Amino acid sequence: MAINGISFGNTILGGSIQNLKTQMADLQNQLTSGKRATTYSGMGANEGFAIAARAQLSNISAYTDTMMKINTNIGVANTALQALSNIGTQLQNAANSGSQVLNSAGQTAGQQTAVAQFSSVVGILNTQAGDRYIFSGSTIYTQSVAASDLILNGNGAGQAGLKQVISERNQADLGTSGLGRLNISSPTATSVSVAEDASPSVYGMKLQSVSSSLTGATVTGPAGAPPAISIDLGATNPADGDAVSFTFNLPDGTSETVQLTASSAVPTPAGSFAIGATPAATAANLNAALTSSVGTLAKTALVAASAIRATHDFFDQPPQRVDITPPATLATATAAVNGTAADTVQWYTGDAGAGSARATSTVRVDPSVTVQYGMRANEDAIRSLMESVAVLAAVTTSPTDPNATDQISALNSRVAQNLTIAPGSQNIRDIQVDLANAQTVMKDATARQKLTQATMQNIIDQAENVSTDEVASQLLALQTDLQASYQTTAMLSQLSLVKFI
Longest dimension (CA), the chain: 168
Helix (H) or strand (E) holding 431: helix 428-464
| Residue-wise pLDDT tens digits, 336-351 | 999 999 999 999 999 9
Q: What is the mean pLDDT of residues 432-446?
A: 96
Q: What is the mean pLDDT of residues 61-78?
A: 94
Q: 9-13, 18-22, 250-254, 366-370: which has the highest mean pLDDT? A: 250-254
Q: What is the mean pLDDT of residues 32-54?
A: 60
Output the pLDDT for position 461.
64
- Pick the closest to residue 192 from 277, 268, 262, 284 (CA basis): 284
Q: Please count the CA atoms within 13 angstroms of the CA of 28 that sit on its side-chain side.
A: 8
Q: Which amino acid makes up residue 470?
A: E
Q: What does the DSSP 8-state code read for residue 89?
A: H
Q: How does strand 255-263 pair with strand 218-223?
A: unpaired
- Pick the closest to residue 445 from 119, 59, 127, 37 (CA basis): 59
Mean pLDDT of the chain: 88
| C-alpha span between 338 and 177 (Å, rounded) | 27
Check pLDDT > 70 for residue 192. Answer: yes
Output the pLDDT for position 79.
97
Check pLDDT > 60 for residue 372. Answer: yes
Percentage of the chain beyond pLDDT 70 is: 81
Output the pLDDT for position 1.
45
Kindly tell me the burial class for residue 291, based on how many C-beta atoms sit within 10 Å of its own C-beta (0-12, 13-18, 19 or more).
Answer: middle
Check pLDDT > 50 for residue 102. Answer: yes
Check pLDDT > 80 for residue 495. Answer: no
Alpha-helix residue ranges (DSSP H) falling in 155-211: 162-174
Q: Are 131 and 141 in contact (CB under 8 A)?
A: yes
Q: At what angle do helices 109-125 and 47-97 cross, to 10 degrees?
A: 170
Check pLDDT > 90 for residue 73. Answer: yes
Q: Of 45 and 269, which is predicted with more confidence? A: 269
Kindly tell me the burial class for residue 208, based on how many C-beta atoms sit within 10 Å of its own C-beta (0-12, 13-18, 19 or more).
Answer: middle
- Pick the closest to residue 338 from 352, 353, 323 (CA basis): 323
Check pLDDT > 70 for residue 266. Answer: yes
| C-alpha span between 229 and 187 (Å, rounded) | 11
Percentage of the chain beyond pLDDT 90 is: 71
Q: What does the DSSP 8-state code read for residue 330?
A: T
- Residue 26: count of CB within 10 angstroms of its CB: 17
Check pLDDT > 60 for residue 21. Answer: no
Distances (CA, A) of 491 to 6, 106, 216, 345: 11, 118, 146, 104
Q: Are 373 and 77 in contact (CB under 8 A)?
A: yes
| Residue-wise pLDDT tens digits, 453-484 | 787 777 766 666 665 555 556 556 666 655 66
Output the pLDDT for position 249.
98
Q: What is the mean pLDDT of residues 373-397?
A: 97
| C-alpha span between 234 and 348 (Å, rounded) | 58
Low-confidence winner among 242-256, 257-271, 411-425, 443-457 (lowest mean pLDDT) = 443-457
Torsion angle defined by CA atoms of residues 383, 384, 388 and 393, in that order, rounded to the nearest 10 degrees: 10
Check pLDDT > 70 for residue 329. Answer: yes
Cβ-count burial 353-377 (b if 16+ within 10 Å, e if not): eeeebbebbebebbeeeebbbbbbb
Q: What is the mean pLDDT of residues 140-167?
A: 96
Output the pLDDT for position 492.
55
Check pLDDT > 60 for residue 500. Answer: no
Q: Of 79 and 94, which is predicted with more confidence? A: 79
Q: What is the mean pLDDT of residues 190-202?
A: 97
Q: What is the mean pLDDT of residues 257-273?
A: 97
SS3 state at 206: strand
Q: What is the mean pLDDT of residues 427-442?
A: 96
Q: DSSP string spanning 347-416?
A: -B-S---SS-SGGGSEEEEETTEEEE---BTTSHHHHHHHHHHHHHHH----TT-TTHHHHHHHHHHHHH
| C-alpha span between 122 and 144 (Å, rounded) | 9
| C-alpha span between 17 and 163 (Å, rounded) | 98
